[in-house]
Chains A and B, each alone.
Chain A
């Protein structure tokens, strides 16, 4: 059974860059798309973007100018960088397997943007 685990700082200062890593176990990154999705406290879900194991990416147009997703197949990890964060970026960030549908998810990690 594939398992995903997010890791990274839980607190980021405004204007800085949010950086998270998702470690995949129980399976390989190869052959699959991998996504980041976020959920502000008490609100709905927002797809951030995905990366194919080979490195091709696609991002939500609303975040595209600030988002970079990368992959490290040697570590079975993929990562999210979100630059110039504001309080509006405070959310639980999930990593998930899939390009269109998301059938395996990490447990999520809360990132708070605050000085």
Chain B
């Protein structure tokens, strides 16, 4: 089973700042099958990024993903008020299970 470790656990930033979130895998994620989700309190997760760097439908271009192998990054270029949430990475390249990271909370400083 691939274990995903996200850092930092919490990121305290102000609106307009740049957010950089990290996701590290315990072994290489095949074909960059790495996704990112956003979850707000009381809501289901929303798919942001798939294939490590492709934005899902309707996702603003301030969200970008990068990385390969075992190291992946989600960048939010300029934080909007609605971006303060918890972000999860997920790998879907290996046999079951499809595992998620433990999450990074982006909070208002």
Interface of A toward B, CB cutoff 8 Å? 43-47, 49, 58-62, 94, 96, 100-103, 105-108
**Most chain B CB inside 10 Å of its own CB: which residue of A44, A46, A60, A62:** A44
Residues in chain A near residue B56, CB distance under 8 A: 103
Count of residues in B whose CB is under 8 Å from the partner chain: 23
Given A100-B33, A101-B92, residue A94 in contact with residue B98 (CB < 8 A) = no
Contacts of A62 in B (CB 8 A): 97
Per-residue A-contact encoding for B1-13, CB less than 8 Å = 1, 0 else:
1000000000000
B3 to chain A, nearest CB (A): 12
Docked CA distance A47–B97 (Å): 7
Chain B contacts for A100, CB-based, 8 A: 33, 92, 98
A contact residues around B102 at 8 Å (CB): 43-44
Evaluate contact between A44 and B92: CB separation under 8 angstroms. Answer: no
| B97 in contact with A44 (CB, 8 Å) | no
Cα A44 to Cα B101 in complex, Å, equals: 7
Query: Pick the contact of B88 from A45, A59, A96 — CB < 8 Å?
Result: A45
Query: Among A61, A96, A102, A103, which residue has its beta carbon within 8 angstroms of that of B96?
Result: A61
- Quick check: which of B43-51, B65-73, B76-84 contacts chain A, the rest being far away? B43-51
Q: What is the distance, in angstroms, from A26's C-beta to the closest C-beta of chain B?
A: 16
Please give me the 7 A-B residue pairs with the lowest Cβ-Cβ distance, nearest first: A105-B44, A100-B92, A45-B100, A60-B97, A47-B98, A44-B102, A103-B47
- Chain A residues whose C-beta falls within 8 Å of the C-beta of B35 in the assembled complex: 101
Whether A44 contacts B45 by the Cβ 8 Å rule is: no
Name the contact of A102 in the complex, choosing from B1, B45, B99 (C-beta under 8 A): B45
